[in-house]
Every structure is written in C-alpha cells, then in structure tokens.
C-alpha cells in the first residue's frame, strides 16, 4: 500500500509542477484568458479527484501515517513526504479553496492587465502550498516555505505600477525573512542533536527523538522557541500582526486564497508537524498561550476600528489564529484542525464578497452579533475612561507595531550599515577584495594561523565580515553595483568562514557556487544594460518602475537575484544546507551569523529588484497610478 500512496502523492506533486510550467507558455492575449483559466482549473480539479481517492482509502484505514521517501538529493539530504490526517485535511481544504478562487478569478480578473501573470503566480503558490503541506522533513519544508515567500511578494505587488502594493510586498517579504532566522537556527541545532536528516514522522510519542530531547533539554527548548518565532512570522502573530492587512493591496482573489485562508495558516501547520517536539516543554506552551492571547486581544480590537473591509477581515483572521495557538498550547490538536478548516472557508467567503454590496450584511452578521456586543459593552463599561481612550488610540493605530518594527529593527540595521559607509567602491577594491584573496590563500595552503588563535576564531571573524558587508549593502541607497558586489562577497566570505572547520571537497564548492556565480554575472549584465539605457534613473533611492519598458530584463534580473540569494531554483540551496551541516555544535555565534547573513541577503536582493523595476514609472510621459487599491 505504501507504494500506491507514493505513486499518488508523486502524481499530485508532478501535476502541480507540470501545471505551473505549462501555464507559463500561454499567450498574454485576451483570447488566451479562458484557455489558461480552464487549464489551471482542470489541473487543480484532477488533483482534487486524486485527493478524494486518498480520502476514501484513508477512511478505510488503508493509508495510516507514513513517511514517504522520494529521492536522495545528496548524502544527508533527501526529499521526504509525510502522510497523515493533518496532511489530508490541509490538502483537501487547499484544493477546494483553490478551485473556488480559480473559478472566481476567471471572471474577476477578466481583461485585467496581467491576467496571465496572476494565474501563473496563483499556480506557483498552489505548488508551494502543496510542497509545504506534504513535506516530511525540514529540507523539503524549507523549499515550499521559500516558494511561499516569493509568491507572497509577487501577489502583493501584483499592481506593480502602484507605490503601496510594491512597498508592502517588500515589507511582508522582509518580515517573512526575519522570522525565518528561528527556522534556520532550529534546523542547524536539530541536525547536530540527531546527526541525521530529521523526519517529521519521528516527532511522535515513544519515538527515539524523545530520548535525545531529554539529554539536550535546553538545546531542544531553543529549537522549539525558534520554530515558534518562524511560525509567528508566517501566521502574522504578535508582534508581526501588522503585515497581514498591508498584504491586502493585491487583488481580492489573491487576498482570499493567500492571506485569508491558506498561507496565513502555514505557521499553524509548522507547529502541528513538530507538535510532539515542542509540546514537551511547559515554558513553550505558556509562551504560546500568551502570544496567542495577546494576538487575539490586539487583532480583535484593531479589527473593530478599520476603515475598510479587507483589513478588518485580515485582523479578524489573525484573531482566530491567535485562538488556534491557545488551543495548541492546551493540547487541543483536533480542535485546531476543525478551527483551521472553518476559518479558512469563512475568510475566503468574506474576502470574495467584500467588494460587493453584501459586505455590509456580512459585517453585521459576523462581527456585530448581539451577544458579542453585549459582552464587549459590559466589559468596557467598567474600565476607566482614560484606559478606554488609550485602548481606542492604540487599536486605531494598530498598536504602533509597524513603526516599532521599522524603527527598532530595520532602522537599527540601517544605522549600523551607515557606520560602515567607508566601505565604498574604492575601499572595496583596496581592502575587501585583498582580504578575501588572502584568507582564501591561507585556507587553501594551510598556512599556520598567527597569534595562537584557533581556527574557530578565524571562522567567526570571517563570518562577521560577511555580516558587515551585507548590512552595508542593506543600508546603501544609491550605488547599485556596489550593492551587488557586496552581496557576492558576503556569500563568499560566509562560505570561506565555514570552510575553516573542515576541508570542503570540490563538489561542495561547486554546489554552493552553482547559483551564486552565474546569478551574479547575469545580474551584472542586466545592470550594465539598464544603466546604459536609464542612467538618469539608476539608484536605490526610489521605485523607478523600469519593468514598464524593460520587462524581460526585469524578469531575468529577478531570476538572477533569486539564484544569488540561494532560492531553491539552483543547487545553491543544497550548498547552504551543506554549510549548515559543517557548522559545529559549539559554534552558536557562527550559526547565528550565517542566519543573519542569509536573511539580509534575501531582503537586500529583493529590495534591489523592487526599487529598480517596480513602482510607477519614473518618466513623466507615463501615467501615474494611484498609490493603493
């Protein structure tokens, strides 16, 4: 039976991938709208029929919980799928909602500029969702996790000639990447605790993993905390709640499937997959309860004071996810699954009808039932006036989470970057490039390190150089080529730092550089071409919208940037896994520096693409779109 299950799950993944790839070859002409919509709908419908067969077999107890091994990427890294009831529920819910949105979008997006791009991105998102839900280990999950991040960026910034959608797409992608620090550090720690490719199937009662957790209590506690941080960022929990309403700048159909129903629950899915790992720690359960409670309270109050319906629905969805975290902390596993399905379908319905007259009636039915109003009035009645007014101002301003994160997190990173402004084109050639050449020469020739410093100290110092370079690139607003050079050498320095631990073989270097070097060269060619055509509008201080006139160069530049930052389209993604594997258990600072470098590299690369190619066009003879939808 396991072989049959493997074939069916492989078929689901294959249909997702083939459906996305074939959809790319449809024409953008209006005559191709209906064939593209019909094709996309047919692929998802066929996947739904397979899921119905799996549901029947699962109910008949023919397919219990399984780990399905697909293939080995290389030693220590494999693609595994996890099949259980949770997987089936998430797949069925995602399939039904995707079918509804595809059908709705075929009419809603009719004659919209970018119809094909929208359907291609939607199919890419569904592929990412399927990979994430089916993932049986952290390597497979992280592939889907990264795909969800970039599809989020593309869907929010769908109206790429408008300022706010583009700005908010970069903001949401940045929050995703910052929260991913927890996931990366957790993956590294788990690898060194268990010394193997960790399977979610082994996170269950009476598993051998429990013995390792008992012997590494505080390390396992830190792993659970990292998973909670990554989950909170993906599901927009406090203090990351502010990004979800800002993600509603995309088309209503994408808001419904992405931020109302499916993607916003991926943090919950991560916690469900690792349930028996973190559930052993009362500290984490208490923290989860507190985070869920704060999220529910803040999101619920903000929802009542939104001036438009879509942010109101967004905050209402966040409030329900906060309750799911409370349920998880109390061990109510099955209640969370029921809650997920109910919330997903409700928010999909609300967002689909939100542009219509039915929004008014829906709001009356869902948000202002008589019982809730009586309880709230009774509760507020006993509060002092000053506290009531304070709560009103805080809720109306969304608890100031957006300016707080921008000021104290991203603002601090920019201030640190400005400290290193002496790193410019001249000093780069005089100091950074020679430093790398010297470090590489010392490493390759095994020259004795002076001052009796251990190789661990040199590895940490080189990783700090990589972090400094990427922070400097993050803060740069004018010199585009300098940013690209800094990103490249930050990648090279981090690889060199880890290589001091043990000798890399040639294959490991080639795997890591397979996406970085070609991506850098292609991006460099694109920038040279763009500067020759648009020298007057060529910096990172504004959004210039060059994709309006240089569409294919913008697409190629995006692909090259994704290659440089290790997005799972090249073997560089595996090279980064190899780096994680080579960071030793006692090198916590080195692991943290690698995580910071990985996160900021992604943010800097995407920000560079967005500022050069997205936004309303800088030239006055093009019309200027309104700022938001």
At 356, the pLDDT band (50, 70, 90 cuts) reads: low
What's the rounded mean pLDDT across residues 490-498? 87
Which residues pair with residue 80 across a beta bridge? 69
Please give the average per-residue pLDDT across 159-166, as a whole number. Answer: 87
User: Could you give the percent of the chain with pLDDT greater than 70?
Assistant: 89
Neighbouring CB atoms inside 10 A of 192's CB total 17
Give the DSSP letter of residue 424. S
**Got the DSSP string for 49-81?**
HHHHHHHHHHHTTSS-SEEEEEEEEETTEEEEE
By the 8 A CB rule, do 67 and 136 touch? yes
Contact between 326 and 289 under an 8 Å Cβ cutoff? The reply is: yes
Q: What is the pLDDT of residues 320-352, one digit of tens each?
A: 999 999 999 999 999 999 999 999 999 888 888
Q: What is the pLDDT of residue 440?
A: 79
Query: What pLDDT is stored for residue 361 in this prediction?
Result: 55
As a whole number, the mean pLDDT across the chain is 85
| CA–centroid distance for 154 within its chain | 12
Q: Does position 374 have pLDDT exceeding 60, yes or no?
A: no
- Residue pLDDT, tens place only, 526-576: 999 999 998 888 999 889 989 988 889 999 999 999 999 888 888 888 777
- Section 207-217 average pLDDT: 70
pLDDT, one tens digit per residue, over 79-118 is 889 999 999 999 999 999 999 999 999 988 888 888 999 9
C-alpha closest to that of 79 among 574, 430, 459, 439: 574
pLDDT at 455: 62
Q: What is the mean pLDDT of residues 260-267?
A: 88
Residue-wise pLDDT tens digits, 26-77: 988 877 889 999 999 999 999 999 999 999 888 877 667 888 888 877 666 7
Cα gap 25→242, rounded to integer Å:
37
Distance CA 324, CA 237 (A): 11
pLDDT of amino acid 363 = 54
Q: What is the pTM of this model?
A: 0.91
pLDDT above 90 as % of the chain? 38
Q: Does residue 270 carry a pLDDT above 60?
A: yes
Note the pLDDT of residue 372.
Answer: 47
pLDDT at 293 over 90: yes
- Is residue 601 over pLDDT 90? yes
Quick: pLDDT tens for 512-524.
888 899 999 999 9
How far apart are alpha carbons 577 and 146 in whole angstroms?
A: 14
- Sequence-ordered alpha helix ranges (H) in 247-384: 252-254, 266-273, 275-278, 282-304, 309-329, 333-353, 358-367, 370-381
What does the pLDDT average to over 380-398? 78
Q: Choose among 545, 448, 456: nearest CA to 500.
A: 456
Report the pLDDT value the prediction gives residue 330, as an integer from 0 to 100: 93
Is the predicted pLDDT of residue 167 greater than 80, yes or no?
yes
């Amino acid at each position: 039976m396991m072989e049959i299950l493997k074939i069916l799950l492989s078929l689901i993944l294959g249909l997702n991938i083939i459906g996305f790839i074939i959809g790319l070859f449809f024409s953008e002409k209006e005559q191709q709208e209906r064939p593209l919509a019909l094709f996309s709908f047919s692929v998802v419908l066929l996947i739904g029929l397979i899921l119905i067969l799996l549901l029947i077999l699962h109910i008949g107890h023919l397919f219990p919980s399984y780990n399905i091994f697909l293939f080995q990427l290389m030693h220590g890294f494999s693609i595994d799928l996890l099949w259980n009831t949770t997987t089936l529920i998430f797949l069925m819910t995602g399939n039904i909602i995707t079918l509804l949105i595809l059908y709705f979008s075929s009419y809603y997006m009719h004659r919209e500029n970018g119809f094909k791009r929208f359907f291609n991105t939607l199919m890419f998102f569904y592929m990412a969702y399927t990979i994430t839900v089916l993932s049986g280990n952290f390597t497979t999950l992280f592939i889907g996790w990264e795909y969800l991040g970039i599809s989020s960026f593309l869907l929010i910034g769908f109206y790429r000639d408008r300022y706010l959608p583009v700005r908010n797409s970069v903001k949401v992608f940045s929050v995703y990447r910052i929260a991913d620090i927890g996931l990366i550090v957790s993956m590294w720690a788990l690898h060194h605790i268990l010394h193997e490719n960790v399977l979610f199937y082994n996170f269950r009662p009476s598993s051998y993993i429990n013995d390792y957790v008992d012997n590494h209590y505080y390390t396992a506690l830190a792993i659970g905390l990292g998973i909670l941080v990554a989950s909170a960022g993906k599901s927009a929990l406090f203090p990351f709640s502010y990004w979800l309403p800002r993600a509603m700048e995309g088309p209503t159909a994408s808001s419904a499937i992405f931020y109302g129903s499916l993607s916003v629950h991926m943090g919950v899915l991560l916690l469900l997959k690792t349930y028996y790992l973190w559930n052993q720690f009362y500290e984490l359960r208490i923290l989860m309860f507190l985070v869920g409670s704060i999220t529910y309270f803040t999101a619920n109050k903000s929802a009542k004071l939104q001036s438009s319906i879509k942010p109101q629905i967004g905050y209402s969805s966040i409030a329900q996810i906060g309750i799911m975290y409370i349920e998880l902390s109390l061990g109510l596993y099955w209640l969370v699954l029921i809650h997920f399905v109910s919330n997903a379908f409700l928010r999909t319905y609300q967002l689909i009808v939100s542009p219509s007259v039915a929004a008014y009636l829906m709001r009356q039915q869902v948000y202002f039932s008589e019982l809730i109003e009586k309880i709230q009035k009774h509760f507020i009645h006993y509060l002092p006036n000053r506290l009531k007014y304070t709560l009103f101002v805080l809720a109306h301003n969304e608890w100031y989470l957006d300016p707080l994160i921008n000021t104290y997190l991203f603002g601090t990173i920019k201030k640190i970057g400005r400290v290193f402004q002496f790193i410019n084109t001249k000093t780069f050639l005089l100091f950074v490039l020679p430093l790398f050449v010297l470090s590489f020469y010392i490493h390759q020739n095994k020259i004795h390190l002076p001052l009796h410093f251990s190789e661990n100290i040199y590895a940490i110092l080189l990783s700090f150089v990589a972090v400094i370079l990427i922070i400097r690139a993050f803060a740069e607003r004018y010199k585009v080529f300098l940013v690209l050079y800094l990103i490249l050498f930050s990648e090279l320095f981090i690889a060199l730092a880890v290589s001091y631990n043990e000798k890399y073989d040639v294959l490991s270097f080639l795997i890591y550089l397979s996406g970085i070097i070609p991506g850098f060269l292609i991006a460099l060619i694109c920038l040279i071409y763009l500067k020759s055509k648009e020298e007057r509008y060529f910096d990172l201080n504004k959004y210039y919208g060059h994709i309006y006139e240089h569409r294919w160069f913008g697409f190629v530049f995006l692909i090259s940037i994704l290659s440089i930052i290790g997005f799972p389209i090249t073997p560089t993604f595996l090279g980064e896994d190899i780096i994680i594997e080579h960071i030793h258990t006692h090198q916590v600072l080195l692991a943290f520096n690698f995580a910071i470098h990985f996160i900021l590299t992604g943010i800097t690369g995407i920000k560079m693409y967005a500022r050069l190619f997205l936004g309303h066009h800088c030239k006055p003879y093009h019309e200027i779109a309104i700022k938001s939808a």
